[in-house]
Amino acid sequence: MNPSALIIDDEIQMRRLLRVALESAGYTVHDAETGQQGLADVAFRRPDVVLLDLGLPDTSGLDVLRRLREWSEVPVLILSVRDSDEDKVAALDAGADDYVTKPFSTAELLARLRVAQRRARPAAETAAFTAGKLVVDLIARTVRLGAQEVHLTATEYLLLRLFIRHAGRVLTHKHILREVWGPKAEEQRQYLRVHIANLRKKIEQPGTAHPLLKTEPGIGYRFTATQEP
């Protein structure tokens, strides 16, 4: 069965463009031009992924996202002309899986969609996470890089487990700090940077062209590895 996508955008030209791109990639496509219609369509059609614009005529895309997250975990990709760090952080903190700035390339959009859909099947629900030479046993709480066992501190392991649960998704500084250290630590970014640097040294091979932990400047971090079949 083909995956299904719901586009929520008030610009008819953008909806047409996205429909052509998605249908050519094998998606069944539905669209809505208002936030209210989009929420109703998510409930009725149960799409595999949602593409959501922030500027809607009846309500803001952020409000749609917050309402959607009250009852649904469907992957949501934000498409917006707004490119400030503040807008991106607000959307990601509200529950978006990713944020793509208009204009964008079709290839990038489809790649981001594939990652968001893979994340809809959380790796942390499996017994182990494997990506290249990195193997994390989520039951035994052990980490290996090739044949070598990697010794993580308790905090480093919690960070790694959080990234694995949200593989491919951008996590904001505030989200990471809240999940690992609690709500009172949400502004301790320097503290987080130190732990991220230590974790990188332990799980990434020196000189790698594709780092496992990618910094999203001004926003947070993205764990680029995905679970291998």
**15-28 pLDDT, tens digit each:** 999 999 999 999 99
**186 and 87 in a common domain:** no
**Residues spanned by the domain of 38:** 4-119
User: Which range among 163-167, 178-182, 224-228 shows the weakest confidence by mean pLDDT?
Assistant: 224-228
Bin 30: left if φ > 0, else alpha if -120 < ψ < 50, else beta: beta
Residue 90 · residue 66 · CB < 8 Å:
no
Q: How much is the pLDDT for 185?
A: 78
In which band, very low, low, confident or very high, does the pLDDT at 178 lie, cut at 50, 70 and 90? confident
Average pLDDT over all residues of the chain: 88
Is 39 contained in some domain? yes
**End-to-end Cα spacing for the chain:** 20
In the numeric block, which tokens belong to residue 164? 């694995």
Q: How much is the pLDDT for 120?
A: 64
Is 30 contained in some domain? yes
Question: Above 50 in pLDDT, residue 123?
Answer: no
Is 64 contained in some domain? yes
Is 229 contained in some domain? no
**47 and 139 in a common domain:** no
Q: Of 119, 143, 167, which residue sits at a domain end?
A: 119
Question: Above 80 in pLDDT, residue 54?
Answer: yes
> How far apart (Å, rounded) are the C-alpha atoms in residues 124 and 210?
22
Mean pLDDT value across residues 42-59: 93
Q: How much is the pLDDT for 229?
A: 62
**115 and 130 in a common domain:** no
Taking each helix axis as running N to C, give the angle between helix 154-165 and helix 189-203, from 0 to 180 degrees, rounded to the nearest 10: 80
Higher pLDDT, 27 or 124: 27
Taking the complete model, does pTM exceed 0.85, yes or no? no
